[in-house]
Structure 1
């Protein structure tokens, strides 16, 4: 018996039992025999048919084509757009505001300056998330100590396309530092350091209407200023010099492109263009003179109950404004951000109307200050000569109407010089409207001469909201009042009463004509401005150099001088310098006190200062306006 190999494969039955030992059967023989004896050949490969392969290929090709097309659309057609969006998420363009120009008086005293301030911003997308919005607005109310509802209304009214909305330009410093110290606690807010406007001389509140203030733009203003590149959140000049010289004071904002991180924090500056600060304006105004006049008016209010007044001081040599006082004034710093509603209501409801620039916008009967113009017109028209005399017996009568002199019994025989000095109504009734056989100027010639002296039209001062005054005509009265023009109307106009209206500025301007010999200058507040080291002088502008003949001007000047030496302005004769002028008393109401006028110039031989004063409801000009004129002339010429 052969020895059994331990590696031999033994056949088994169906139960896995080896029935008998078989020798010399190996693995290959067993398997090979089994498969060699199969009747059919087995198929080795896949069960997917050719048709299925075809459709699968088509499907794969279509999908690939779609992906390729989408990639082409994203990369080629919309590539620039998506690139810009991606860059926008990484890069932020910021505006660098320019510092607004300062405003100085004629001696260099700073009147308006910039002081450090913080502005508060909120992310625009916060408004679309109620939870974030409520959290942010509660934070802002606490930081700013403001009412939640008012802040809500403010944010809802904000517009523009920027990613942030401006809440305030004047955030309390302590609150700003709190946000800057803990930005993670105020993730929806941003604080920016900057400057805000500040009127330095807050003690002289009558400067406020002249200088103006800055404020946020309304819709109409933004529609206008956006054409010049303004942003919606910029502040603009609202009244006064701030408004009229907006483009000069604003400067040119700069820009910077900043790279930011995922939460918007700046990482680096990629590009920068520096801002160009606004120009510094130097005014003709003398702040010391303005303050002195205001103090004297405050004293008049305390002592005599005077509530409203206007004072205009000009240089007759070029039209420069030395003082422009509308009394009472207001503190313009209240308007530099958002004025408290109670404070604003108090200003609006104040019977003295402190917000009204009465020296520019107030329109009043001129009273006797108009008489020098009538005299010059009559001299030039040949209605009178310097030797023409009139007998004043207390007035003239036309039918049942009597037109009185202010002095009972009249002034006796007067010529044009004495008529000006004593303000003789009868003389001006006659040369203005005529009487009996004496032919006067008539309304049309008087109004033509008045217009030549700048009445009935704005003079063009470089401060906005100047009124034009009013010169009546027969056609106007017929159309508006539906009445004919009577001789009595002409008489009233010839003495500065009736329907004629003037502004204090216009009276000062026509007084400069008599002071300088016949030239009407455009009043100017700004003398020059300086930007980037260059000084730009503003040249005097002449409105009319042919207001009246030199001969007529000279005769009227002599009458104005006699007002001080012999007439109603004799108090001014006590000054060491020679002064000329005219007083006036203007009736304007049947039950209220008359307005008091004075207008004059000094020195008489070589004038350098014109002073015009209107004390509303002040009574006689000689009683209340002349003493103030004395103090102004005395301060100006002897202040040192």
Structure 2
């Protein structure tokens, strides 16, 4: 009955069967008692409990210690490693602005390059003559792991350097998610790149190339060590042509792969990295005479019509031995010359006398000479850092006291400074600027390489009447004087030559010519210099400019109108 009653008793989910409660008595004799068969449970011995407890305690210490090491001691390291392994932040390189000449002919631009997957490579014009104007750059640099430790384009020279901020733009940023194998899963743009601005230069690359070619022809033939030439708009200071010879090749230096050619530029004795137009300092010789003539007229030292006799030299008592005389030679005997003719024939005696005085002819004296040379911009850097890379030197008693402390200033020093010799040094661009002020009526402009830029200017305190005399003398130099090689039927040119003797033996000379055109209503001023040629050479700056004007007439006559 009990069995039946129990059998009828129900539990949740079904009935309870008796064999779920009681052992199977029928099978009891068959159980292997040594294997504990037939036992409902086996009690745990005290030894086993201790061993199990010790195991759990040891495991707790091991895993707890390791967890402490990972989270506390090495936590930041692993966190950083985790971030590095999952997210990479990389720069998106901004496209660099292009550089063009005044006619929008490309001088520097960007092109795809298989060697530079992440950014565009720089390409440069194949035209010669503009290397120092354009310059070159270095690319962003990465290490062996692909990390860019320098992520900008670095302008090294020329406009690439001086206008680097204008050209550069702003790099963007992106993140790349990587899996455990380092393969990209996805990427996100955080900041888009901003393209750099284009640069429109004032130069005409055709003109610079032509000047460069004519310079190099004379440099090789004479030979000279180098040269420079430039043309400036006298109304606004824009540089229309600018070149320095010899030059480097921007593409070779930016690519940086041709070590043989790069080493050749570095070791070249003709210094192709020197921008002779802006950084080269040279004795100007007679090209300063128009400035001195204007100064003498302004200070009422002499009238333009008064004539001075040049017999080939003047002599004054020797400061070291009064019984002897010091002789200051002219390059030839010119006879009686007034100011215009003195400029035309480049009479040294005439300018010795109006500079330092002689007998009854009063001279400016070194203080006024220095004053007017500085008023015309000599001895100072040009404002544009690409064009103004040197100050130059105007000799003076203060300068000599520093340079030659045991030798006082003498009248002979004034004579030599009056003709652009002694310790006087200028850059070709300084002389171009000064002659531009003669041409345009006394506005000393700041030369500029940027097209359309408003030039700053200051007035040279010399009257238009006196400047006109200097211009007329320079025109005579072309019609029948020392610059007669520039007497051409298709353009009226005014010019002044200069031959500066250098070295103790005076066996080497710098050959100069400066001027402007058209002579009656000047639009452009020019300068050409050939550096350190043989003194016997008679073919220099004038020859270069004659070839250039003939080329200009045939190729770009709009500049001659």
Fold-level similarity (TM above 0.5): yes
Question: What is the TM-score normalised by the length of structure 2?
Answer: 0.80
Q: Please, which of 309, 320, 326 is the counterpart of residue 401 of structure 1?
A: 326
Q: Does 1:433 align with 2:356?
A: yes
The question of whether the paired residues in 2 share the 8 Å contact of 1:471 and 1:501 is answered with yes
Cα 1:348/1:82, change in 2 over 3 Å: closer
Give me the whole-angstrom Cα distance separating, in 2, the residues matched to 1:549 and 1:48.
122
Partner residue of 1:539? 454
Inter-CA distance 591–498: structure 2 relative to 1 (3 Å threshold):
closer
Computed over aligned residues only, the root mean square deviation of the Cα atoms, in angstroms, reads 3.4
TM-score for the superposition, normalised by structure 1: 0.71
Distance apart, 1:298 and its partner CA: 3.4
**Paired residues for 1:93-172 under 5 Å:** 93-119=89-115
Instruction: State the distance in 2 between where 1:88 and 1:297 align.
Output: 58
3-state SS in 2 of match to 1:359:
coil
CA distance in 1, matches of 2:93, 2:201: 25
**CA separation of 1:434 and 1:465: change in aligned 2, threshold 3 A:** closer
Q: Which residue of 1 aligns with 2:7?
A: none
Deviations 1:297-339 (A, max 9, x none): 3333454444422111111111111222211222122211325
Corresponding position: 1:522 with 2:446 = yes
Which of the numbers 432, 442, 448 marks the counterpart of 1:508?
Answer: 432
Q: CA deviation at 1:265?
A: 2.4
* Distance of 1:465 and 1:561 partners within structure 2: 29
Alignment of 1:205-220 (within 5 A): 206-215=129-138
1:578 is paired with a residue of what secondary structure? coil
Q: Which residue of 2 aligns with 1:158?
A: none
1:124-273 matched pairs, under 5 angstroms: 192-201=117-126, 203-204=127-128, 206-215=129-138, 232-273=150-191
Aligned to 1:577: 491
607-616 vs 290-299, which moves further: 290-299
Residue deviations 1:574-619, cap 9 Å, x none? 2322211101111112252322111111012222221211122165
Gaps of 5+ in 1: 1-26, 28-43, 120-168, 170-191, 219-229, 528-536
Instruction: Find the aligned partners of 2:396 and 2:382 in 1 and give their Cα distance.
Output: 20
Cα distance in 2 for residues equivalent to 1:470 and 1:457: 9
Return the match for 1:566 from 480, 486, 490.
Answer: 480
Question: Which string of whole-angstrom CA distances, capped at 9 and with x for unpartnered residues, describes residues 119-161 of structure 1?
Answer: 4xxxxxxxxxxxxxxxxxxxxxxxxxxxxxxxxxxxxxxxxxx
Contact 1:585-1:620 at 8 Å conserved across structures:
no
- Residues 1:301 and 1:81: Cα distance change in structure 2 (over 3 Å): closer
Q: Which residue of 2 is the match for residue 343 of structure 1?
A: 261
Deviation, 1:435, is: 1.3
Distance 1:622 1:516, change over 3 A: farther
| SS of equivalent residue, structure 1 residue 428 | helix
Runs (5+) with no aligned partner, structure 2 = 1-24, 26-41, 142-147, 318-324, 557-561
Q: Does structure 1 residue 550 correspond to structure 2 residue 475?
A: no
Write out aligned runs for 1:445-460 (5 A): 445-460=368-383
Give the conservation status (yes or no) of the 8 Å contact 1:568–1:622. Answer: no
Offset from partner CA, 1:2-56 (integer Å, 9 cap, x none):
xxxxxxxxxxxxxxxxxxxxxxxxx9xxxxxxxxxxxxxxxx998879xx99xx9
Q: Is the 8 A contact 2:507 2:535 kept in 1?
A: no
Contact kept? 1:411, 1:424, Cα under 8 Å: no
Structure 2 CA distance, aligned partners of 1:364 and 1:302?
20
1:391 aligned to 309, 317, 321, which one? 309
Q: 1:608 aligns with which of 502, 517, 523?
A: 523
Distance 1:330 1:577 in 2: 33
